[in-house]
A and B are shown apart, each in its own frame.
Chain A
Amino acid sequence: MSILVILSAQFLAAAALSLVAVGCYLALKSPWRAAVVVAPLVALVPWQARGLHGEASARLALAACALWVFHLLIRQGVFVGRRRFYTAAALSTAALLVSPAGIIMLAAMGVILSIPRTGTRFPSAPLAFIALPVSVKAAVEAFLRHKAAFAWLSNISLGWAAPQWYMAAHGKPFNVSDALYNRGFFWPLLIALAVLLVLRRRQWWFGPTALMATVLFVGSVVLGAGLYFQYSLTTQIALIVFFGIAAIAKEGEIKGQSP
Chain B
Amino acid sequence: MVEKYLFRIIYSIAEKTFKAAVAADSRGKTAAALAIVVSAALFSVMPQVYLARPAADELTWGARALTPWWFPEEKIADRSLRSPEYQRQYYFAIHHPSVARIVYRFALHRAGFYEPPEEAWEYGLGYNDNLALGHRLPYDFRLTLRSVNAAFFAGAVVFIYLSTALILANRFLAVVATLPFAFEPTISNGWKAVVPYIGADAIFLFFLAAFLYCLLRLKDKGLPGVLALGMIAGITVSTKVNGSFALIGALIYFAAYSRGWRRLAWPVILGAMSVAVFLALNPIYFGGGLSWAVSVFKDTLRLMFYLKETTTALDWGTYTRWETIIGAFPYLSFLVPIAIVVVSARREKWFPVVSCWSASIVVLNLFLVYMPQPRYAAPVRMAFFVILMASGLSLLRSSFATRRGEAA
Q: Which residues of chain B are near A258, meaning CB under 8 Å? A: 347-349
Segment among B245-253, B292-300, B302-310, B383-391 that sits at the interface with chain A: B383-391
Q: Which residues of chain A are near B347, meaning CB under 8 Å? A: 255-258
Q: Which residues of chain B are near A188, meaning CB under 8 Å? A: 180, 385, 388-389
Interface residue A36 (Cβ < 8 Å from any Cβ of B): yes
Interface residue B84 (Cβ < 8 Å from any Cβ of A): no
Give the complex CA separation of A244 and B333 in angstroms: 10
In the complex, the answer to whether B348 meets A259 with C-beta atoms within 8 Å is: yes
Segment among A13-21, A50-58, A99-107, A235-243 that sits at the interface with chain B: A235-243
Interface residue A152 (Cβ < 8 Å from any Cβ of B): no
Interface residue A74 (Cβ < 8 Å from any Cβ of B): no
Known contacts: A180-B377, A255-B398, A256-B394. The answer to whether A196 contacts B327 by CB under 8 A is: no
Interface residue A193 (Cβ < 8 Å from any Cβ of B): yes
Interface residues of B in 328-352 (CB under 8 A from A): 328, 330-341, 344-349, 351
Q: Which residues of chain A are near B333, meaning CB under 8 Å? A: 40-41, 43-44, 229, 236, 240
Interface residue B87 (Cβ < 8 Å from any Cβ of A): no
In the complex, the answer to whether B340 meets A196 with C-beta atoms within 8 Å is: yes
With an 8 Å Cβ cutoff, the count of chain A residues facing the other chain is 44
Give the complex CA separation of A230 and B348 in angstroms: 33
Give the complex CA separation of A196 and B395 in angstroms: 9
Give the complex CA separation of A230 and B332 in angstroms: 11
Interface residue A199 (Cβ < 8 Å from any Cβ of B): yes
Report the minimum CB–CB distance from A231 to chain B (whole Å): 12
Chain A interface, DSSP helix/strand/loop, else mixed: helix
Known contacts: A176-B327, A191-B180. The answer to whether A247 contacts B389 by CB under 8 A is: no
Report the minimum CB–CB distance from B375 to chain A (whole Å): 10
Interface residue A1 (Cβ < 8 Å from any Cβ of B): no
Give the residue of B338, B346, B392 whose beta carbon is less than 8 angstroms from that of A194.
Answer: B392
Interface residue B136 (Cβ < 8 Å from any Cβ of A): no
Give the complex CA separation of A249 and B399 in angstroms: 17
Give the residue of A186, A254, A257 whose beta carbon is less than 8 angstroms from that of B348.
Answer: A257
Contact mask for chain B residues 369-408; partner A; CB cutoff 8 A; 1 contact, 0 none: 0001110010000000100110111111111100000000
In the complex, the answer to whether B330 meets A180 with C-beta atoms within 8 Å is: yes
Give the complex CA separation of A240 and B337 in angstroms: 9
Q: Which residues of chain B are near A248, meaning CB under 8 Å? A: 336, 340
In the complex, the answer to whether A255 meets B344 with C-beta atoms within 8 Å is: yes
Q: Which residues of chain B are near A177, meaning CB under 8 Å? A: 327, 330
Known contacts: A180-B377, A256-B344. The answer to whether A191 contacts B334 by CB under 8 A is: no
Report the minimum CB–CB distance from A230 to chain B (whole Å): 8
Interface residue A185 (Cβ < 8 Å from any Cβ of B): yes
Interface residue B190 (Cβ < 8 Å from any Cβ of A): yes
Give the complex CA separation of A258 and B335 in angstroms: 24
Most chain A CB within 10 A, of B176, B337, B348, B393, is at B337
Give the residue of A172, A179, A229 whose beta carbon is less than 8 angstroms from that of B190.
Answer: A179
In the complex, the answer to whether B389 meets A256 with C-beta atoms within 8 Å is: no
Give the complex CA separation of A257 and B395 in angstroms: 8
Known contacts: A176-B327, A182-B185, A236-B333. The answer to whether A247 contacts B346 by CB under 8 A is: no
Report the minimum CB–CB distance from B351 to chain A (whole Å): 8
Give the complex CA separation of A43 and B347 in angstroms: 32
Report the minimum CB–CB distance from A23 to chain B (whole Å): 16
Q: Which residues of chain A are near B240, meaning CB under 8 Å? A: none
In the complex, the answer to whether A40 meets B389 with C-beta atoms within 8 Å is: no
Report the minimum CB–CB distance from B184 to chain A (whole Å): 8
Q: Which residues of chain A are near B186, meaning CB under 8 Å? A: 180
In the complex, the answer to whether A192 meets B398 with C-beta atoms within 8 Å is: no
Give the complex CA separation of A172 and B328 in angstroms: 14
Give the complex CA separation of A173 and B323 in angstroms: 8
Interface residue B101 (Cβ < 8 Å from any Cβ of A): no
Interface residue B146 (Cβ < 8 Å from any Cβ of A): no
Q: Which residues of chain A are near B348, meaning CB under 8 Å? A: 256-259
In the complex, the answer to whether A240 meets B169 with C-beta atoms within 8 Å is: no
Interface residue B39 (Cβ < 8 Å from any Cβ of A): no
Known contacts: A192-B389, A194-B396, A254-B340. The answer to whether A181 contacts B185 by CB under 8 A is: yes
Interface residue A168 (Cβ < 8 Å from any Cβ of B): no
In the complex, the answer to whether A243 meets B337 with C-beta atoms within 8 Å is: yes
Known contacts: A194-B396, A256-B344. The answer to whether A179 contacts B330 by CB under 8 A is: no
In the complex, the answer to whether A244 meets B336 with C-beta atoms within 8 Å is: yes
Interface residue A153 (Cβ < 8 Å from any Cβ of B): no
Interface residue A37 (Cβ < 8 Å from any Cβ of B): yes
Interface residues of B in 178-198 (CB under 8 A from A): 180, 185-186, 189-190, 192-193
Report the minimum CB–CB distance from B36 to chain A (whole Å): 16
Give the complex CA separation of A188 and B385 in angstroms: 8
Q: Which residues of chain A are near B332, meaning CB under 8 Å? A: 40
Q: Which residues of chain A are near B393, meaning CB under 8 Å? A: 191-192, 195
Give the complex CA separation of A179 and B324 in angstroms: 12
Report the minimum CB–CB distance from B160 to chain A (whole Å): 13
Report the minimum CB–CB distance from A158 to chain B (whole Å): 24
In the complex, the answer to whether B192 meets A179 with C-beta atoms within 8 Å is: yes
Give the complex CA separation of A192 and B341 in angstroms: 8
Q: Which residues of chain A are near B349, meaning CB under 8 Å? A: 258-259
Q: Which residues of chain B are near A187, meaning CB under 8 Å? A: 180
Report the minimum CB–CB distance from A125 to chain B (whole Å): 31
Q: Which residues of chain A are near B385, meaning CB under 8 Å? A: 188
In the complex, the answer to whether B377 meets A247 with C-beta atoms within 8 Å is: no
* Closest A residue to B168 using CB positions: A259
In the complex, the answer to whether B189 meets A182 with C-beta atoms within 8 Å is: yes
13 contacts between A and B (CB under 8 A): A43-B333, A176-B323, A179-B192, A180-B186, A181-B330, A185-B185, A188-B180, A191-B180, A191-B389, A195-B399, A240-B334, A243-B337, A258-B348
Supplied contacts A40-B336, A180-B377, 11 more A-B pairs, CB within 8 Å: A40-B334, A176-B323, A176-B372, A177-B327, A192-B388, A193-B334, A193-B392, A198-B399, A246-B337, A248-B336, A256-B391
